[in-house]
Chains A and B, each alone.
Chain A
């Protein structure tokens, strides 16, 4: 993006109640409505214990709010007996037509003396890797902390499981071999995953859909524990052990493999016959 010159009348204002609608508007322009509503903003900022109006900075040009910046001064534990004052910062949003004028760095710099006055020793922020590389590192000079925090995620609902299976089915049907396999007629896999309602993954050359299991006989019926669905994301040894354990304990079952094999074996014949063209 082309860098614009700094607006000569850029001003920074502390929070005041009349700015709230503008702050929300700017946040929604930056992050979309998913950022949250006024109730959420008030909880996060103005009702936070220890909140000061200077924790919310609103940038204006010609008295029009164009950007907002939020911070919270907290004690951060570095080690037993070693707590320091830290400013945690974020919710930084700029109206699209005001971007590219260096507002983040100007704001970051302008609040520094006041934070020093509040005994703040370090400034920190949560970000994505992309945001860190684009903003926090080059503009704020931050270093990325080597956190041990990991995100663990599990599907709980039938709806989410079906969406995931559908994704898997779409990837499967996209392969050339699968296209040939599905060309003559759809292929239905009934998935019976422990803890979830049985569902049918219906594959055609053009689509993959996962729906509540129907009465009809599927082409293939697979029973397995949920943990096996995650085996592909495990280290090799753990995955092998998990699969072996599930098979040996009788939690894995497949019916219809012969039909699948016959259909697969018939593929070369179909390719030679005119109907298979």
Chain B
């Protein structure tokens, strides 16, 4: 049975939200959708009409969704069920692109512009084959405001991967680098019995099993921007003491780095 294209109808929200969250799951940097957020970010956005939101429905199930910013022809969201087989998904992607182009022409758009993850090869190929030119990437930058709770959150999420480590404590000595605000200058990370991060900025004595000296900008590069531990060590942006703890500290830092590809959909733009 082939999929059919139809415009958004009131009541579709939860299906759209569920599909969007599933499509965006492999990426970092996006905002998990809720019905309220979607209604605001897409449906209520000036320039978007309900007819600018298209759904791809197959056997009563929504398998594709896209939304376009009216006359501008800017695609806010484009999702096709990632659980479909590659062959079927490719066909659905092309069908949804074609429908959106027809709609954009009817809306008298001069161009149609998608902001999609190039790592989704099926979408990338379908767009290129349809004559889309890849023009530029997206620039999204980030700084660490609260290293204490950030480390706590990441370490807690990765605790299973930390269990094999022999390291029990580790101290982060932080300097601001180019960052204009330093909340904590020293953090104690306890890996046992549970993962816990303490602010010991004012402490004069602390465990020295492993001390990691890094500035906030280098920590940002390490956690979020794909910077390698060895590169930062070579560039003296990172210091690990004593040397005997180097291997375990490297393992810790590599474990807490965010490795998922970054993708922020247009509808999350600011």
Interface residues of A (CB under 8 A from B): 36, 39-40, 43, 47-49, 70, 72, 74-84, 86-91, 105, 108-109, 112, 115-116, 119-129, 131-132, 136-157, 159-160, 225-227, 229-230, 233-234, 238
**What CA separation (Å) do A91 and B269 show in the bound complex?**
12
* Leading 3 A-B pairs by shortest Cβ distance: A141-B179, A142-B141, A141-B178
Give Cα A39 to B31, complex, Å: 24
> Complex formed: what's the CA distance from A70 to B270 in Å?
9
Q: Which residue of A lies closest to B150 (CB)?
A: A121
Please name all residues of chain A whose beta carbon is closer than 8 Å to the beta carbon of B144 when the two chains form the complex.
121-122
Q: Could you tell me the distance in whole angstroms from the C-beta of B256 to the nearest C-beta in chain A?
A: 10
State how many angstroms separate the Cβ of B168 from the closest Cβ of chain A. 23
Contact of B128 among A90, A126, A229, A234 (CB under 8 A): A234
Q: 17 extra interchain contacts, Cβ-Cβ under 8 A, other than A141-B179, A229-B131?
A: A49-B36, A76-B31, A77-B24, A77-B30, A77-B31, A78-B154, A87-B145, A105-B180, A126-B269, A147-B263, A151-B114, A152-B132, A153-B111, A155-B111, A156-B104, A156-B112, A157-B111
Residues of B with C-beta under 8 A to A108: 180-181
Residues of A with C-beta under 8 A to B130: 154, 227
Docked complex Cα distance between A127 and B143 (Å):
14
Contact of B270 among A72, A150, A227, A233 (CB under 8 A): A72
Q: When the two chains form their complex, are residues A83 and B32 in contact, meaning their CB atoms are under 8 A apart?
A: yes
Partner of A145, one of B101, B114, B141: B141
B108 at the binding interface (Cβ < 8 Å): yes
Which residues from chain B sit less than 8 Å from chain A, CB to CB? 24-25, 27-32, 36-37, 40, 44-46, 73, 101, 104-105, 108-119, 124, 127-146, 149-150, 153-154, 157, 176-181, 183, 216-217, 220-221, 224-226, 258, 260-264, 268-270
CB distance B138 to A143 under 8 Å? no
Q: Tell me, in angstroms, the Cα distance from A160 to B108 when the chains sit together.
A: 11
Minimum C-beta distance from B144 to chain A (A) = 6
Given contacts A80-B25, A138-B178, contact A157 B44 (CB under 8 A): no
- Decide: B29 and A140 in contact? CB cutoff 8 A: no
Question: Please, how many angstroms separate the alpha-carbon atoms of A90 and B268 in the complex?
Answer: 13
Cβ contact within 8 Å between B129 and A227: yes
Minimum distance in angstroms from B34 CB to a CB of chain A: 8
Q: Which residue of B lies closest to A127 (CB)?
A: B139
A136 and B141 form a contact (CB under 8 A): yes
| CB within 8 Å for A112 and B145 given contacts A43-B46, A48-B40, A151-B115 | yes
Contact of B30 among A76, A155, A157 (CB under 8 A): A76
In the assembled complex, the Cα of A136 lies from the Cα of B178 at a distance in Å of: 10
Contacts of A82 in B (CB 8 A): 153-154, 157
Across the interface, A151 reaches (CB within 8 A) one of B27, B46, B113, B264, namely: B113
Given A78-B154, A156-B101: A123 and B128 within 8 A (CB)?
no
Contacts of A152 in B (CB 8 A): 113-116, 127-128, 132-135
Q: How far is the CA of A119 from the CA of B225 in the complex (A)?
A: 22
Find out whether the CB atom of B145 lies under 8 angstroms from the CB atom of A78.
no
Query: Are B178 and A122 in contact, with the CB atoms below 8 A?
Result: no
Given known A78-B154, A145-B224, A154-B133, contact A124–B139 (CB-CB < 8 A): no
Inter-chain CA distance A140–B180, complex, in Å, is 6
